[in-house]
């Protein structure tokens, strides 16, 4: 398989971070690796030319899978959490993919934004089931009878990130990826060649949602908390921006690097009175640099 070296190199970097880094760096690394899955989902849809401002919906579904299972049934088992998150987020993605099959461009972005905001309002208003704006506590997961410690969580994050990097390699060499590029460049022509575009997009939407859902689950684990803000459109906006950042980079590891770059800027900006200003300037600088080098 082409590109396997980047997977090995990534595992090496993650191992060095764990061995040499302090507690905070390990926390950030785990957070970034989990979050990068959601970025992967946004990036997958961007490949079809679809800007999804509702990817946060799936991200929230994943996080709440763990939160609700623990709150209502006391389940902290990681395999059950993952299973539930995959099924629920997959269904959510399939639903939104089928529903938004007829629209493209701005309408697509807004339809998905509306879907995720419906989820947001439900999570916010039905506080007796979902904890309302406080969100839910997410415990450190257990794997059968053993509690996943910091190391376990880090390994889980590393496993997810490498698995998705590999999935990305497999995907980008598949027929589906060619079709995706075709859909982005000229949809009419691809459909004239015999492709079922809506089916492709629904499948991609389900895959992107599963990915974002697992990302949400992972971030909920790392931060021990899930809140309705996961489904808010500004979360989707962050994910889309990170995915756009990663478009500027090679596909193999772009999603992790884009996620890391965005989170690094965001975390660094928190020390200022106006973090937004710093993030905005950083984004503009990125755009400028990219323009300068890819003239």
User: Which residues contact other proteins (rule: CB under 8 A)?
Assistant: 46, 51, 99-100, 102-107, 110-111, 113-115, 117-118, 120-122, 124-125, 233-234, 237, 240-241, 244, 247, 273-281, 283-284, 287
Measure the CA–CA gap between 75 and 78, rounded to whole angstroms. 9
Q: How many residues does the chain have?
A: 295
Q: In the numeric block, which tokens belong to residue 262? A: 């965005």
Residue 175 or 273 having the CB closest to other proteins: 273
Q: In the numeric block, which tokens belong to residue 164? A: 């998705």
Pairing of strands 142-143, 136-137: unpaired
Residue 125 or 189 having the CB closest to other proteins: 125
Residue 132 or 139 having the CB closest to other proteins: 132
Residue 137 or 278 having the CB closest to other proteins: 278
From the CB of 22, what's the least distance to other proteins, in Å?
A: 29
Other CB atoms within a 10 A radius of the CB of residue 75 amount to: 17
From the CB of 163, what's the least distance to other proteins, in Å?
A: 28
Letter string b/e over residues 164-184, b meaning 16 or more CB atoms within 10 A of that residue's CB: bbbebbebbeeebbebbebbe
From the CB of 147, what's the least distance to other proteins, in Å?
A: 38
Measure the CA–CA gap between 42 and 255, rounded to whole angstroms. 9
From the CB of 164, what's the least distance to other proteins, in Å?
A: 22
Residue 271 or 274 having the CB closest to other proteins: 274
From the CB of 60, what's the least distance to other proteins, in Å?
A: 15
Running DSSP on this structure, what letter comes out for residue 194? T
- Closest Cα to residue 29, out of 272, 259, 270? 259
From the CB of 181, what's the least distance to other proteins, in Å?
A: 15
Pairing of strands 142-143, 225-226: unpaired
Residue 129 or 284 having the CB closest to other proteins: 284
């Amino acid at each position: 398989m082409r590109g396997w070296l980047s997977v090995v190199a990534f595992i090496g970097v993650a191992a060095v971070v764990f061995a040499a880094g302090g507690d905070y760096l390990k926390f950030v690394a785990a957070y970034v690796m989990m979050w990068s899955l959601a970025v992967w989902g946004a990036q997958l849809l961007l490949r079809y030319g679809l800007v999804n401002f509702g990817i946060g919906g799936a991200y929230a579904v994943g996080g709440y899978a763990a939160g609700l299972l623990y709150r209502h049934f006391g389940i902290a088992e990681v395999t059950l959490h993952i299973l539930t998150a995959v099924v629920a987020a997959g269904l959510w993605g399939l639903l939104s993919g089928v529903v938004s099959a007829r629209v493209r461009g701005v309408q697509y972005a807004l339809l998905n934004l509306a879907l995720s905001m419906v989820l947001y309002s439900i999570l916010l208003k039905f506080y007796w089931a979902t904890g309302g704006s406080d969100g839910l506590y997410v415990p450190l997961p257990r794997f059968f009878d053993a509690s996943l410690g910091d190391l376990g969580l880090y390994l889980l994050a590393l496993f997810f990130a490498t698995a998705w990097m590999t999935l990305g390699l497999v995907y980008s060499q598949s027929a589906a990826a060619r079709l995706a590029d075709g859909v982005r460049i000229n949809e009419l022509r691809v459909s004239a060649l015999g492709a079922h575009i809506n089916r492709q997009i629904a499948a991609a939407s389900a895959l992107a949602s599963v990915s974002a859902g697992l990302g949400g689950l992972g971030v909920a684990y790392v931060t021990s908390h899930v809140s309705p803000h996961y489904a808010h459109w500004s979360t989707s906006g962050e994910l889309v921006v990170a995915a756009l950042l990663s478009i500027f980079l090679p596909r193999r590891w772009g999603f992790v690097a884009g996620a890391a770059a965005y989170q690094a800027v965001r975390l660094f900006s928190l020390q200022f009175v106006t973090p937004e200003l710093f993030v905005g300037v950083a984004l503009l600088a990125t755009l400028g640099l990219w323009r300068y080098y890819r003239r």
